Amino acid sequence: MNRRAYNFNAGPAALPLEVLERAQSEFVDFRESGMSIMEMSHRGAIYESVHTEAQERLLSLLGNPKGYKVLFLQGGASTQFAMVPMNFLGQGQQANYVLTGSWAEKAVKESKLIGDTHIAASSEADNFMSLPNLDDISLSDNPAYLHMTSNETIGGIQFKQFPNTGSVPLICDMSSDILSRPLDVNQFGMIYAGAQKNLGPSGVTVVIAREDMITNSPKHLPTMLRYSTHTSNDSLYNTPPSFGIYMINEVLRWIQERGGLEGIQVQNREKAGLLYNAIDGSGGFYRGCVDAASRSDMNVTFRLESEELEKAFIKASEKEGFVGLKGHRSVGGLRASIYNAVPMESCKALVDFMEHFKQTHG
């Protein structure tokens, strides 16, 4: 391998090189067991130590909030879209949602299959190119919870703050920006995230929830769709995605080694600032897609003056070793996903490429 690709994939996404190399060194013989962690029983002491360590390390990075439990589930955020209303939407209550883009829409769609669903705020009128004002969130008369999507991967918008919902649990899909910045977990009843952007490989879904919310799920639900099943069995009711959880633990270790969430936030803001400055300083050759106040630090979306020019940009970038810069098929355009593991060197290389492309095509 002459060099690593400049990986800007939206997910599965870049993993830290140091983590990959550590996993490579332990792949065949894990902790002198004579086998890979993928080969050993999830009931054995070696795997269970990794499992517990990952849970504890995650809570430690988040300041060890009292009364919260970490679950390692499967099925991605898409399964959580259904599990949330199934477990928390009671008779006579309404599920409340803030509608901000494609992933929030998918969550709302699933909720409507389960019960009464209320849109508490929406930026649909602006084609999801901005965020609703937190002061404009209007809860229903008897809200079971308020659900938000912290970062819309496709559109490229991100909440920098969250509302105080009082006694109404705030539930958040943080699949694409979890652990990218400091976070007060106590604001939330539950946070969930697919691992494949900032936490590890695909196949694991992380849930961080108040224990009082996930200990008494409705008994009529299928066993695997009850949070209480996984809570009472410490996420070991069925065989977990053990290698993915091992990788999450190593990514969490890597974050700790870089100054925790405060250190990671500094790096992420520098990377995002570098790209947005290149877009805004291009004299209109590149155009940011979303309102500047709503811009994501994780997914930088931008356009050129024509689809033909965008295609030429993608083709030329791929020849130079850039991967994943094509926008989502539902919206088109261009997108650079710059999650925690994307190094500053890749972002600098992209800015240099953007400048060269402008000079040769402007």
Is 173 among the catalytic positions? yes
CA distances from residue 319 to 36, 132, 263, 314, 355 in whole angstroms, order as listed: 36, 39, 33, 9, 16
Q: And the tokens for 67?
A: 């009364």
Q: Could you tell me if 231 and 82 lie in one domain? A: yes
- Asked if residue 248 belongs to a domain, the reply is yes
Domain closes at, from 240, 257, 274: 257
Of 116, 160, 184, 197, which residue is the catalytic one?
Answer: 197
d(CA 38, CA 340): 25
Q: Are 188 and 172 in contact (CB under 8 A)?
A: yes
pLDDT of residue 1 exceeding 80: no
- The domain that holds 252 is classified in CATH as 3.40.640.10
Has residue 12 been placed in a domain?
no
Evaluate if residue 2 carries a pLDDT over 90: no
In a domain, 351, yes or no: yes
Give the pLDDT score at 15: 98
Q: 53 and 131 share a domain? A: yes
Please check whether residue 200 lies inside any domain of the structure: yes
Specify the residue for token string 């630090």. 297
Q: What is the pLDDT of residue 362?
A: 86
Confirm whether 11 is domain-assigned. Answer: no
Residues 239, 197 within the same domain: yes
Cα–Cα distance, 176 to 174 (Å, whole number): 6
Final residue of a structural domain among 204, 234, 257: 257
Our answer to whether residue 254 is catalytic in this structure is no
**Averaged pLDDT, 310-317:** 98
Q: What average pLDDT score do residues 57-86 get?
A: 98
Domain tally for the chain?
2
* 253 shares its domain with 264: no
Q: How confident is the model over 19-64, as pLDDT tens digits?
A: 999 999 999 999 999 999 999 999 999 999 999 999 999 999 999 9
**Is residue 6 included in any domain, yes or no?**
no
Q: What is the pLDDT of residue 154?
A: 97
Q: What mean pLDDT is reported for the chain?
A: 97
Handedness of CA 94, 98, 103, 106 (dihedral sign): positive
Q: Three-class SS string for the chain?
A: CCCCCEECCCCCCCCCHHHHHHHHHHCCCHHHCCCCCCCCCCCCHHHHHHHHHHHHHHHHHCCCCCCEEEEEECCHHHHHHHHHHHHHCCCCCEEEEEECCHHHHHHHHHHHHHCCEEEEEECHHHCCCCCCCHHHCCCCCCEEEEEEECEECCCCEECCCCCCCCCCCEEEECCCCCCCCCCCHHHCCEEEEECCCCCCCCCCEEEEEEHHHCCCCCCCCCHHHCHHHHHHCCCCCCCCCHHHHHHHHHHHHHHHHCCHHHHHHHHHHHHHHHHHHHHHCCCCCCEECCCHHHECCCEEEEECCCHHHHHHHHHHHHHCCEECCECCCCCCCEEEECCCCCCHHHHHHHHHHHHHHHHHHC
Which of 229, 257, 285 finishes a domain? 257
| Rounded average pLDDT over 304-319 | 98
pLDDT in tens, 260-283: 999 999 999 999 999 999 999 999
Is position 160 annotated as part of the catalytic site? no
**What gap in Å lies between CA 158 and CA 161, rounded to an integer?**
9
pLDDT-based confidence at residue 320 (cuts at 50, 70, 90): very high
Residue 295's CATH number: 3.90.1150.10
Same domain, 243 and 280: no
Q: Which domain holds residue 190?
A: 18-257
Shared domain check, 61 and 186: yes
Q: Are 143 and 33 members of one domain?
A: yes
Residue 247 sits in the same domain as residue 266: no
Whether residue 270 sits in one domain with residue 181: no
Q: Which one from 69, 173, 177, 271 is the annotated catalytic residue?
A: 173
Pick the catalytic residue from 29, 66, 69, 103: 103
Residue 112 lies in a domain: yes
- 301 shares a domain with 191: no
Are 287 and 180 members of one domain? no
Q: Report pLDDT digits (tens) over 128-169.
A: 999 999 999 999 999 999 999 999 999 999 999 999 999 999
Same domain, 238 and 182: yes
In a domain, 239, yes or no: yes
Q: CA angle 184-190-193, nearest 5°?
A: 90
Contact 197, 180 (CB under 8 A): no
Q: Bridge partners of 208?
A: 70, 191
Report the pLDDT averaged over residues 89-101. Answer: 98
Task: Please choose, from the candidates 77, 5, 1, the residue with its C-alpha nearest in 3D space to the C-alpha of residue 346.
Answer: 5
The tokens describing 287, both together, are 């155009």
Q: Model confidence over 179-207: pLDDT tens digits?
A: 999 999 999 999 999 999 999 999 999 99
